[in-house]
Structure 1
Amino acid sequence: MPSLSLRNLGVVAHTPLFQNLNLVIGEGDRLGLVAANGAGKSTLLKCLAGHMEPTEGDIVGSRGLRVALVEQDVPVHLLDLSLHDMLLTALPTDERVTQEWRVDMVLDEFETPAELRTLPMRALSGGWQRLALIARAWITQPDMLLLDEPTNHLDLEKLFKLESWINMAGYTAPIVVASHDRDFLDACTSKTLFLRPEESIAFAHPYRRARDLLEAHDAAAQAQRDRTLREVKRLRESAAVLRNVGINSGSDAAHVKSAQIKRRAEALEQNARNVHRERTGEIRLGNRGTHARVLVALENVTVEAPDGRRLFAIPKLEVAQGDRIVVLGRNGVGKSQAVRLLHRAMIEPDGLPGIRVSPSLALGYVDQDMQQLPGKATAHDFILSRFRLGDQRSRAVLAEAGFSIERQGLPIAKLSPGQKARLGLLALRLSEPNFYLMDEPTNHVDIPGREQLEDEILDAQATCIVVSHDRSFVKAIGTRFLLIDKGRLREIDGPEAFYESVIG
């Protein structure tokens, strides 16, 4: 029976990422790994895979255990191989001729179109690259599979395909999944580990039920800490009274008793545990405001692919102040192209035919790959030059968004995807728009960050057009839903029917 035992495991990187972690991962386990960006999820997965050594503790695997880790990006040396050959190279050299059938079997499991199997990896979409990496790991028949952010870049169709594959009947090898997608975690996991610097906590439940239990645990821990600190205060007051008695009466016994009570208070205070608080940085949106009722109006607009192919038509659409519009559609129908077209219409002086933009519109734009960020500039220089806040204020707002002084000085290109996403959202806030145009804004953003963004959109009463595959995010913010289907854009009551059509 394949298993991994973690005994007092810890990793320190300047400060502890996690410590004293004890856990057994065994047959049939579907473990969701949850933590903020930069809190150690990828590090723990690398330790489990044997790719790096922990700072302390042990990882003990069952004899002959084969662990496969699927990281977030395709290795450079595989990018020029075809999808088929990339999977084939995962097999031992002496088995590639006789076992090539396994490549086709795994590609069939993932329902891979024939025309994609001969394309080089670099020509595939981000979603297919992710599925290809999972298939490459799976073809080696591992005893345990580790997935690092497997849903990034997946459209809904591929996301549902991955959920179905993980949950397929008869598959009992353990899977550990690090993800920020709340619905995916609920659909694919049966256990949840909340990774924390002081005390990591596991529950034998999927994410949302586990989170309720975690909140109850933290509330009980906070109540215990409050009781302990009240007792510390009472003991110190008693010690002070006895000390005064000893001074005034010359009683040695009072002095001794006062010292004993003081030591007890110090011991209690030292053992009173701080309750964990997520420190992910703030995402706050501004709203410049406008008196215009309609901010954008479209009539008889055609959305085209970069090569000029017609994708779909928009007969008529008005975006009124307060509308939070979610654009839905299968992969390739033109959602991102529509966002880019609107972006062009809003930034070009003369606009575009068929698209009328209110003169009072102040745009806030987020590209799903954060390509609007200058890769060579540092985070500090970008904020300082773009918004002219002054050096001290620029550093302060970056710190509020979760950027340490060291990270503020790194070139943006060297930041993690999650850090780039936070920087992009910080720039969005500082621009104080009254209209948000966002293409997959939650890509690489951790769960606390996603929920904070949801709250900020609602609190700011933001007007926005959003493309997102995050079902929880869509449900939280959407007031209107537009579906691109059969070459047309039409309004629907909600996203549920579309989701069911994709699953079917």
Structure 2
Amino acid sequence: MTSLSLRNVGVVAHTPLFQNLNLVIGEGDRLGLVAANGAGKSTLLKCLAGLAEPTHGDIIRSRGLRIALVEQDVPAHLLDLSFHGVLHQALAPEERASQEWRVDMVLDEFQTPADLRVLPISALSGGWQRLALIARAWITEPDILLLDEPTNHLDLEKLFRLEAWISNASYTAPIVVASHDRDFLDACTNKTLFLRPEESISFAHPYRRARVLLEEHDAAALAQRDRTLREVKRLRQSASTLRNVGINGGSDAAQVKSAQIKRRADALEQNARSVHKERAGEIRLGNRGTHARVLVALENVTVQAPDGRKLFAIPKLEVAQGERIVVLGRNGAGKSQLVRLLHRAMREPDGLPGIRVSPSLALGYVDQGMQQLPSGSTAHDFILSRFRLGDQRSRAVLAEAGFSIERQTLPIAKLSPGQKARLGLLALRLSEPNFYLMDEPTNHVDIPGREQLETEILDAEATCIVVSHDRSFVTTIGTRFLLIDKGRMREIEEPGTFYDTVLG
């Protein structure tokens, strides 16, 4: 039987990422791996794949076990290969001539359009690059498939396609998925492991049910710790009383008993479990405020592709203060082009033809690739120079956002995608906008960060236009929903209408 066992596995990187991890991954398991950014999910996947060694413990693999890991980034040596070539190269050299039919079979299984099969990977969208890497792993027929953030850059159509593929996989080989997408985890997993530095906890349930059980576990642990500490306090008071009796009355027995009680109190305190607290950096937004009722108005505007093709037209659209507009549509419909067009208009003193921007609008902009961040600068220098907070205050706000002193001095290009996302959202808050223009703001942001961003958008009563494929995020924040479909934009009552269309 295919299996992979972990015995007391731990990894230390300055401080423990996780420790004493005991786990068996076996047939039929669909394991969701959940943790904050930088908490060790990718590290654990690499350890499972044999690409890294744990600091402590053992990972035991069945004899001949084949493991495939799909990492977040496309390896450089694959960028110039075609989609077809990437899969063909994944086959064993001796099988490439006789087994080429399997390449076409997998491409068909992933419903890959014919024109994309011959394009180099570097020319594909981020979503198709993700699917290409998954297909490349799948064609090797692994006994265990490891997926690191597989939904990043996927539009909804590809996301639903991936969910269906995982859920309907005809074989029982285990899959381990590290993801921040709550709906995806619920749809595709039957177990959840919450990775923690002190004690990692697993449940035989998908994410949301497992999270309820985790909260109950944490509440019980907190209650037990409080009871233990109250008992420690009582024992120490008894030990102190006996010690005084022994000293004042000259009783050796009382002093011996006092020492025994104190040792018991020390042991109880030592064994009292520390209660886990999420240490996700703060995501906070501000709202500069404005008296304008309408912040942006569009009339007879055409949105074009970079090559000049017409994507869709907007006869009329007004964005009033306090509205949170979510833009939906399939990949290539023009969502990001709309965001870029609005971004250009908001930077021009007089807007652009057909786009009127309130003079009181103060823009906060997030690009899905965080291209607005200067990659050659450090996080500290970027915040210091952009917002002129002074050295100490710049370090403090970065620390609040989850950046250690070491990470503050790294070039932004060397930060993880999750850290770049947090830096971009920190800069968004410090710019004190009254209008947020955000293209996939939750890409690479962990679950606590996504939930905090949702709360901040609501609490700040933010006015915004958002493009997002995170279904939970969209449903929570949206007040209006605009669907780009078949060359036109129309308003729909709620996002489920679009999801049903994609699924249909």
What TM-score range do you get, normalising by the shorter chain? over 0.9
Counterpart Cα distance in 2 of 1:317 and 1:114: 37
SS at match of 1:315: strand
Q: 1:120 is matched with which residue?
A: 120
In structure 2, give the amino acid aligned to 1:97: A
Q: 1:86 is matched with which residue?
A: 86
Q: 1:165 is matched with which residue?
A: 165
Q: 1:266 is matched with which residue?
A: 266
Counterpart Cα distance in 1 of 2:234 and 2:432: 49
In structure 2, give the amino acid aligned to 1:333: A
The answer to whether 1:447 aligns with 2:444 is no
Q: C-alpha deviations, 1:183-237, integer Å up to 9, x for none?
A: 0000000000000111100000000000000000000000000101111111111
Counterpart Cα distance in 1 of 2:72 and 2:58: 25
**Aligned ranges for residues 98-497 of structure 1 at < 5 Å?**
98-168=98-168, 170-497=170-497
Could you tell me the TM-score, scaled by structure 1's length? 0.99
Report the CA distance between 1:312 and its aligned residue. 0.7
Q: C-alpha deviations, 1:100-119, integer Å up to 9, x for none?
A: 01100100100001111111
Counterpart Cα distance in 2 of 1:281 and 1:236: 37
Counterpart Cα distance in 1 of 2:243 and 2:479: 66
SS at match of 2:322: coil
Counterpart Cα distance in 2 of 1:38 and 1:134: 23
Report the CA distance between 1:396 and its aligned residue. 0.4
Could you tell me the TM-score, scaled by structure 2's length? 0.99
Aligned length: 504
In structure 2, give the amino acid aligned to 1:263: R
Counterpart Cα distance in 2 of 1:389 and 1:243: 55
Report the CA distance between 1:170 and its aligned residue. 2.4
In structure 2, give the amino acid aligned to 1:398: L
Counterpart Cα distance in 1 of 2:119 and 2:465: 34
**Range that drifts further, 165-174 or 358-367:** 165-174
Q: 2:58 is matched with which residue?
A: 58
Counterpart Cα distance in 2 of 1:17 and 1:309: 49
Q: C-alpha deviations, 1:291-342, integer Å up to 9, x for none?
A: 1111111111111111111111111111111101100111111000001111
Counterpart Cα distance in 2 of 1:322 and 1:264: 59
Q: C-alpha deviations, 1:146-191, integer Å up to 9, x for none?
A: 0000000100000000001001152211000000000000000000
* Closer/same/farther in 2, CA of residues 437 and 112 from structure 1, 3 Å limit: same
Where does structure 2 lack aligned partners over 5 or more consecutive residues? none
SS at match of 1:303: strand
Counterpart Cα distance in 2 of 1:171 and 1:161: 17
In structure 2, give the amino acid aligned to 1:469: H
In structure 2, give the amino acid aligned to 1:368: Q
Q: 2:34 is matched with which residue?
A: 34
Report the CA distance between 1:403 and its aligned residue. 0.3
Counterpart Cα distance in 2 of 1:189 and 1:33: 10
The answer to whether 1:49 aligns with 2:49 is yes
Where does structure 1 lack aligned partners over 5 or more consecutive residues? none
Q: C-alpha deviations, 1:77-129, integer Å up to 9, x for none?
A: 11111111111111111110001011001001000011111111101111111
In structure 2, give the amino acid aligned to 1:87: L
Counterpart Cα distance in 1 of 2:227 and 2:250: 34
In structure 1, give the amino acid aligned to 2:87: L
Counterpart Cα distance in 2 of 1:80 and 1:283: 38
Q: C-alpha deviations, 1:478-501, integer Å up to 9, x for none?
A: 111011112211111000010011
SS at match of 2:90: coil
SS at match of 2:146: strand
SS at match of 1:89: helix
Counterpart Cα distance in 2 of 1:339 and 1:114: 29
Counterpart Cα distance in 1 of 2:120 and 2:331: 20
Report the CA distance between 1:427 and its aligned residue. 0.3
Counterpart Cα distance in 2 of 1:296 and 1:235: 67
Counterpart Cα distance in 2 of 1:93 and 1:266: 63
**Range that drifts further, 84-93 or 438-447:** 84-93
In structure 2, give the amino acid aligned to 1:344: R
**Range that drifts further, 419-428 or 170-179:** 170-179
Report the CA distance between 1:246 and its aligned residue. 2.1
Counterpart Cα distance in 1 of 2:103 and 2:243: 80
Counting aligned pairs with the same residue, the percent is: 87
Counterpart Cα distance in 2 of 1:50 and 1:406: 28
Q: C-alpha deviations, 1:358-414, integer Å up to 9, x for none?
A: 111111000000000000000000000000000000000000000000000000011
Counterpart Cα distance in 2 of 1:121 and 1:201: 38
SS at match of 2:273: coil
In structure 2, give the amino acid aligned to 1:395: R
Report the CA distance between 1:263 and its aligned residue. 1.1
Counterpart Cα distance in 2 of 1:148 and 1:281: 21
Report the CA distance between 1:247 and its aligned residue. 2.4
**Range that drifts further, 446-455 or 479-488:** 479-488
